[in-house]
């Protein structure tokens, strides 16, 4: 079967890198200066030749098999400004990375405003479009209307030879812009826990909270491997790729048992996952004091990650979705 030409955007660099493991060619829109969302092949990711920069003002001159939207403004604005009517009639997929959230407070409430995330309608309401969710929880939460949905769970690949060591008796948090993302991503929990336990923070904007700064994605698994455990303070979000990558190298994870995370970590077997934050701190102390316990949980986490989040399965799932919509 021939390779497909897919037009898309650079929304999450690590996801785009893993997506490029699918056996197709991805044309990624670029604007001058490579602003957020239009960076193409930018960043430290080892993209292969099947990921190609495409100047946004040239998109209407190219032939594609499928359009892969990843953000609301791609759907609501870019397709009309950058694509021809014929291109907008091509097979289309909307990749939704997040669970639903309520409108910001500065939007005036009215009778149509949802009161709970479960009532939020997805911006795509089109039976001719495939809506892909990255977790079953997200699919459950969104009101997708008439749009057919499919779940493609994450798949990751870590560098060969990287294995968890845990010789540094500290915990690690990996989150971008934690300060600005607040309670939803657990900024308050990170600040509280680090007053009594040794925790380091890495990611974009990490220095705003006294963290270490950003570590490039290709080097992140090897960097994390030295730490005793990974702590995910996230209350409500999609399953973090950094959690899966940590599990894949055999690193134990301590996390809140919320959203999809509740199905990923088997408490006391492949990590610690609970909603009582006091018990989370106890679990972290246990891992800091017992390297053998950390190793046992990390080994079980690695088995779980390899079973559920293998890059080969992820690639095959995306191949199947792309071929289904273009058949």
Q: Going edge to edge, which strands form the sheet with 25-30?
A: 51-55, 25-30, 5-8, 66-69, 92-96, 129-133, 149-151
In this structure, the dihedral spanned by the alpha carbons of residues 66, 71, 76 and 81, taken in order and rounded to 10 degrees, is: -60
**Burial of 183: CB neighbours in 10 Å, binned 0-12, 13-18, 19+:** exposed
pLDDT at site 105: 63
pLDDT digits (tens, 9 = 90+) for 233-255: 999 999 999 999 999 999 999 99
pLDDT at site 106: 54
The structure's pTM equals 0.95
Reference 47, options 92, 93, 14; nearest CA is 14
| Residues 56, 73: Cα–Cα separation, whole Å | 14
Q: Taking a C-beta distance cutoff of 8 angstroms, is the pair 209, 179 a contact?
A: yes
pLDDT at site 295: 98
| Residues 265, 252: Cα–Cα separation, whole Å | 10
The beta-strand segments (E) located in 3-161 are 5-8, 25-30, 51-55, 66-69, 92-96, 129-133, 149-151
- Domain coordinates in residue numbering, the chain: 5-155+311-326, 168-308
Q: Taking a C-beta distance cutoff of 8 angstroms, is the pair 137, 260 a contact?
A: yes
- 5 is written with which tokens? 């030409």
pLDDT at site 111: 55
Is 3.40.50.2000 the CATH number for 168-308? yes
Residue 322: phi and psi, rounded to 5, are -65, -40
Reference 120, options 236, 1, 8; nearest CA is 236
Q: Return per-residue pLDDT of the chain as tens, 327 residues.
A: 899 999 999 999 999 999 999 999 999 999 999 999 999 999 999 999 999 999 999 999 999 999 999 999 999 999 999 999 999 999 999 999 999 998 776 555 555 678 899 999 999 999 999 999 999 999 999 999 999 999 999 999 999 999 999 999 999 999 999 999 999 999 999 999 999 999 999 999 999 999 999 999 999 999 999 999 999 999 999 999 999 999 999 999 999 999 999 999 999 999 999 999 999 999 999 999 999 999 999 999 999 999 999 999 999 999 999 999 999
| Residues 170, 315: Cα–Cα separation, whole Å | 34
The topology under which CATH files domain 5-155+311-326 is Rossmann fold (3.40.50)
User: Cβ neighbours of residue 223 under 8 Å, at least 6 residues apart?
Assistant: 202, 215
Look at residue 168 and give its three-state secondary structure.
strand
The beta-strand segments (E) located in the chain are 5-8, 25-30, 51-55, 66-69, 92-96, 129-133, 149-151, 168-174, 199-202, 227-232, 253-256, 272-274
Same fold, 5-155+311-326 and 168-308: yes
Cα–chain center distance at 267:
22
């Amino acid at each position: 079967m021939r390779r497909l030409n897919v037009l898309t955007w650079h929304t999450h660099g690590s996801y785009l890198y893993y997506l490029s493991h699918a056996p197709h060619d991805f044309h990624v829109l670029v604007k001058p200066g490579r602003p957020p969302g239009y960076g193409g092949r930018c960043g430290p990711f080892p993209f292969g030749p099947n990921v190609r920069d495409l100047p946004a003002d040239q998109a209407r001159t190219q032939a594609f098999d499928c359009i892969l939207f990843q953000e609301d403004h791609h759907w609501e604005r870019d397709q009309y400004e950058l694509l021809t009517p014929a291109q907008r009639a091509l097979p289309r997929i909307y990749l939704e990375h997040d669970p639903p959230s309520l409108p910001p407070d500065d939007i005036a409430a009215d009778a149509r405003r949802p009161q709970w995330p479960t009532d939020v309608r997805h911006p795509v309401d089109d039976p001719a479009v495939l809506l892909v969710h990255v977790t079953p929880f997200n699919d459950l939460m969104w009101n997708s209307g008439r749009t057919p949905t499919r779940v493609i769970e994450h798949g990751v690949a870590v560098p060969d030879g990287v294995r968890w060591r845990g010789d540094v008796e500290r915990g690690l948090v990996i989150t971008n812009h934690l300060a600005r993302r607040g309670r939803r991503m657990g900024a308050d929990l990170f600040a509280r826990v680090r007053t009594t336990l040794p925790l380091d923070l890495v990611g974009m904007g990490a220095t705003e909270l006294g963290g270490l700064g950003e570590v490039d994605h290709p080097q992140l698994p090897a960097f994390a491997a030295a730490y005793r455990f990974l702590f995910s303070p996230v209350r409500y979000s999609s399953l973090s790729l950094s959690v899966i990558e940590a599990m894949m190298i055999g690193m134990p994870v301590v996390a809140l048992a919320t959203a999809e995370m509740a199905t990923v970590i088997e408490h006391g077997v492949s990590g610690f996952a609970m909603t009582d934050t006091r018990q989370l701190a106890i679990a972290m102390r246990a891992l800091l004091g017992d390297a053998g316990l950390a190793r046992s949980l990390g080994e079980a986490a690695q088995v779980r990650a390899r079973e559920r989040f293998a890059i080969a399965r992820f690639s095959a799932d995306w191949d199947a979705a792309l071929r289904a919509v273009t058949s």
